[in-house]
Structure 1
């Protein structure tokens, strides 16, 4: 079990927004931030799942959790939701750009609509949220921290997830660019590139079939010989959102058990899949998606 190195009130007084906070990594990290005293705001598109996540994150914990239904792809909706937070609760101190969309597929088979679904969420959503918070910080003369969830594909690229790789590389570039532009306002921007950390649904979508050797999701291809954990990701997240590293900005930090250094953690191994394998993969993804929706009552 991973131990925390933080004081119980390390994030007391912090007001942190997590986009895509209803499921996966965002949901897991939220409860750890609340453990450290933070007031956490969750954004997502499904009210029932957001409410469930908020209850889970706040039970018997010192911090508090609030949620809003927000489609981060829509700049006007993001702006309105930011206004509501500023008005009801006060300025945010941190933003985690975690909302994402991804799927595995041969790039030649991807439709324009599918490409847009991924890039508008990852790239557009991250910009909309960062821009809305940053403008308010600058206008109010307050400091802020932006932390984006990326992958090591921002350095290596990755076959079969090209829309996601492109969009996350754009957010990597935004992180470096705005770190310089907004440093004078006391606004820091960093990003995390975690290795494989299993979560419901997302893990199914990134494992097209049981027989394939997928380098990005297999523990035996990670030098440490295991997957990462939510707790480890949350510890690094808390540090970057805290006041303990005010001089750190513009960096994307890989936390992947040495995977990228040993050989890019990409889906290159899927080049061996046949057309029949890809058809099976599509059915597997469809089944996983329908099961997840049924479980959440969607």
Structure 2
């Protein structure tokens, strides 16, 4: 039996890289998608060390042509897309609602929401033709509760939850499952950038999330949940938002 194939966006680092390595350990062939060639190729090397086949495709997830290209390349190379981890995303520059620049709003929504939408739209067509597949979207705790000084980010992640539930409802009878993970704080280069932003600007939001476990999660801890969702062990789950947040939303 041929191996299953997983496509991962934002696979260059953080949750994406950890999940790529974990799914490679689970036996998936991998399609590594990222805009940053340097870090993506590092992930590619780490994945190949696990003995699976893998390719890297550079893409801007907010560009429909790029999205259609990585989806078609995945099918041309491996024949199927069994799992799509729709993970690429950015954080917002902290600011009060009326101080959010239109360009910043567009940037966050284009990558976090439009990118997820375009990826789902292209992959769902492939999965419907196959008669099976599982999409895992990266939302956030900000997708179920508001984050102070991050209204655009919160809106983008609420939209991811909505897209997840909408697609799950429409495709549940077609052998396709769609779920979302909602991480809290994760120790990644992305969150490190947030800390640096606060130090540089001197601006600290009125509310800073504190993990009830007293720490950020490690990327590997999120990857373990992605691995579960990508497996048959989650076969009765669809339209679900899985909280992986150390109790933050309790």
Q: What TM-score results when the alignment is normalised by the length of structure 2?
A: 0.91
The answer to whether the 8 Å contact 1:103/1:206 transfers is no
Out of 96, 111, 120, the position equivalent to 2:110 is 120
The answer to whether the 8 Å contact 1:24/1:202 transfers is no
2:166 paired with 1:166: no
Specify the alignment match of 1:215 in structure 2.
208
Matching of residues 39-78 of structure 1 within 5 Å: 39-59=29-49, 61-78=50-67
Distance in 1 (alpha carbons) for counterparts of 2:195 and 2:131: 39
Structure 2, gaps ≥5 residues long: none
Out of 149, 162, 165, the position equivalent to 1:176 is 165
The answer to whether the 8 Å contact 2:90/2:112 transfers is yes
Out of 98, 101, 105, the position equivalent to 1:111 is 101
Which structure carries more relative contact order (alpha carbon 8 Å, separation 6+)? 2
After superposition, what is the alpha-carbon deviation per residue over 1:125-170, rounded to whole angstroms, capped at 9, x for unaligned?
00101110101221x2320101011111122111211111111111
2:22 paired with 1:32: yes
Structure 1, gaps ≥5 residues long: 1-11, 262-298
CA RMSD of aligned residues (A): 1.9
- Is the deviation greater in 152-161 or in 163-172? 152-161
**3-state secondary structure, aligned to 1:56:** helix
Deviation (angstroms), 1:214:
5.4
Distance in 1 (alpha carbons) for counterparts of 2:119 and 2:65: 10
Specify the alignment match of 1:151 in structure 2.
140
Distance in 1 (alpha carbons) for counterparts of 2:195 and 2:161: 21
**3-state secondary structure, aligned to 1:113:** helix
Distance in 2 (alpha carbons) for counterparts of 1:124 and 1:227: 27
Out of 174, 184, 188, the position equivalent to 2:177 is 188
Specify the alignment match of 2:237 in structure 1.
248
Distance in 1 (alpha carbons) for counterparts of 2:24 and 2:164: 25
**3-state secondary structure, aligned to 1:257:** coil
